[in-house]
Amino acid sequence: MISVRRMLQQALRVSGRSAFPLVKWMERWAEAASLGPEGTRRQAMRSLDDMPGPSVASFAWDLFAKRGLSRLHELQLEGVQRFGPMWKASFGPILTVHVADPALIEQVLRQEGQHPMRSDLSSWKDYRKLRGHHCGLLTSEGEEWQTVRSLLGKHMLRPKALEAYDKTLNSVVTDLIDKLRLSRSPQGLVSDIASEFYRFGLEGISSVLFESRIGCLDQVVPEETERFIQSINTMFVMTLLTMAMPSWLHQLFPKPWKIFCQCWDYMFDFAKGHIDLRLTAEAKKIARGEKVEGRYLTYFLSQMGLPMKTVYSNVTELLLAGVDTISSTMSWFLYELSRHPEVQTSLREEVLSVLEGRRIPEAADVARMPLLKATVKEVLRLYPVIPANARVIPERDIQVGDYLIPKNTLITLCHFATSRDPAVFPNPNEFQPQRWLNKDQTHHPYASVPFGVGKRSCIGRRIAELELYLALARILIEFDVKPDPEGVSVKPMTRTLLVPENIISLQFIER
């Protein structure tokens, strides 16, 4: 760019004084063209060919021979160490550019366009095409995505709309507390807390979607519910595998794709069963002339004139999104608190002082619980359930740092790496909720973004946060949470989502 600018100046200068205004205009044009996003001076632009990264063979070796699929989050940290903040790697048939610096992640997200797209090459979308299902919010694109996003946003993101859910969610929390009491050994040990919290997550999101209970926290859990949770788990394991395998390998080794489809079939059937049941009951009420006061999401969706296939796919995806996300975050939260009794005591004091004698918090109370919020932030910094996000920009090539990224390139946003970057968060591997309350310790706003940012960010964020706050505050009021005396320290692993690698068991001692 610089050399073109010089050539232009020389060419115009030799043509004499009459060309002066033109020289000035050309200089200004060249100046503007040499500036990157937000006025930063552009270096000579580099292409993907110049970008460092592991060879296809060595990355495939890391992934398949060195258990890399379950260590994808660690590969982010290794990637930054070896190649710096941007590198490319081939994930099976897909070339992806990794971005692991908050300012560069910001640059990508600021250029994501009107209808941001997470990934064009998803086995989730392939499944829907194969079965003739519609896409839900997680998988739809363009106008189709925008329509449902606007409708659901009104009922999921607005603070006023959220108030409708705290009673429903609190009744689910009451059942969770009872269930924890019942599941304890005589020493107070609850084994495998994540599996208790899966059921809580599913019951919680079902109550929001159907305003009715589906029995996940009953003493005997319905078999179909257990199978639904199992299908989610297996589907997540198979997601990475099916994406890393080129499609011709699906013919040679059909098992992963077959299992993946069976899991989705079950999940779609489960959701459809519950929707039909609920809407039929509603229709009968109307036929009897009774008043219907639907405040639940499925009802809103079914009233918007959307095709039923769109309602089914959206409810399936919302159910799915509400299970592991809640379960993992609660498990890590209590795991860390059991190892940091001083934080646990401060948190309990905060909750009790806000409640002033009450035992059940409401949505409005949470605003006065800054330490509780900071602790959830810290847990999601250390263990972001979705350890990497993605974007594909189909409209145009974009500049990120010094690189020109061609349109349609899959860009992986490595926020597990940024949230453990010591340059951004001092002592990054330590659990320090206070860091979020310390005004002197500010950090780049894109360094820890567990819910994503912008138009395509998590639509369930507000509901998830409310559910977490209500449940965790209640657990702290009812129990002292202590480590399993025989427990080991637990690390995260990737299973598409970031989950605990080992079973976490904790003692819940009655207070």
Would you say 189 or 271 has its CB closer to ligand HEM? Answer: 271
Residues within the interface to ligand HEM (CB under 6 A): 118, 137-138, 149, 205, 317-318, 321-322, 325-326, 329, 380, 385-386, 389, 450-452, 456-460, 463-464
Task: Give least dist CB 498 to ligand HEM, A.
Answer: 9
d(CA 233, CA 462): 24
d(CA 225, CA 274): 11
Which residue is associated with the tokens 């429903």?
Answer: 168
Would you say 45 or 94 has its CB closer to ligand HEM? Answer: 94
Burial (CB count within 10 angstroms: exposed 0-12, middle 13-18, buried 19+), residue 57: exposed
Would you say 45 or 490 has its CB closer to ligand HEM? Answer: 490
Task: Give least dist CB 232 to ligand HEM, A.
Answer: 13
Q: Give long-range contacts, CB 8 A cutoff, 24+ apart: 23-28.
A: none
Task: Give least dist CB 383 to ligand HEM, A.
Answer: 9
Six token digits for residue 434: 């206070």
Would you say 354 or 390 has its CB closer to ligand HEM? Answer: 390
d(CA 27, CA 438): 47
Task: Give least dist CB 466 to ligand HEM, A.
Answer: 10
Task: Give least dist CB 325 to ligand HEM, A.
Answer: 4
d(CA 28, CA 426): 43
Q: Is 135 annotated as a binding residue?
A: no
User: Where are the extended beta strands (E) located within 398-505?
Assistant: 398-400, 403-405, 410-413, 479-483, 492-495, 497-500
Would you say 482 or 495 has its CB closer to ligand HEM? Answer: 495
Task: Give least dist CB 229 to ligand HEM, A.
Answer: 15
Phi, psi (5° rounding) for residue 235?
-60, -40
d(CA 386, CA 118): 13
Task: Give least dist CB 390 to ligand HEM, A.
Answer: 7
Would you say 189 or 374 has its CB closer to ligand HEM? Answer: 374
Would you say 378 or 484 has its CB closer to ligand HEM? Answer: 378
Would you say 420 or 482 has its CB closer to ligand HEM? Answer: 420
Task: Give least dist CB 162 to ligand HEM, A.
Answer: 11
HEC secondary structure over 4-60:
HHHHHHHHHHHCCHHHHHHHHHHHHHHHHHCECHHHCECCCCECHHHCCCCCHHHHH
Q: Edge-to-edge, what's the strand order for the sheet holding 506-510? A: 189-190, 506-510, 479-483
Would you say 320 or 405 has its CB closer to ligand HEM? Answer: 320
- Number of Cα atoms under 13 Å in the Cβ half of residue 137: 24
DSSP 354-410: HHTT-SS--HHHHTT-HHHHHHHHHHHHHS-SS--EEEE--SS-EEETTEEEPTT-E
Burial (CB count within 10 angstroms: exposed 0-12, middle 13-18, buried 19+), residue 176: buried
Sign of CA dihedral 233, 237, 243, 246: negative
Would you say 403 or 416 has its CB closer to ligand HEM? Answer: 416
Task: Give least dist CB 164 to ligand HEM, A.
Answer: 14
Count how many residues are written for the chain.
511
CB 331 within 8 A of CB 217: no
Task: Give least dist CB 389 to ligand HEM, A.
Answer: 5
Phi, psi (5° rounding) for residue 405?
-100, 120
Annotated binding site for heme: 458
Binding-site residues sit at: 458
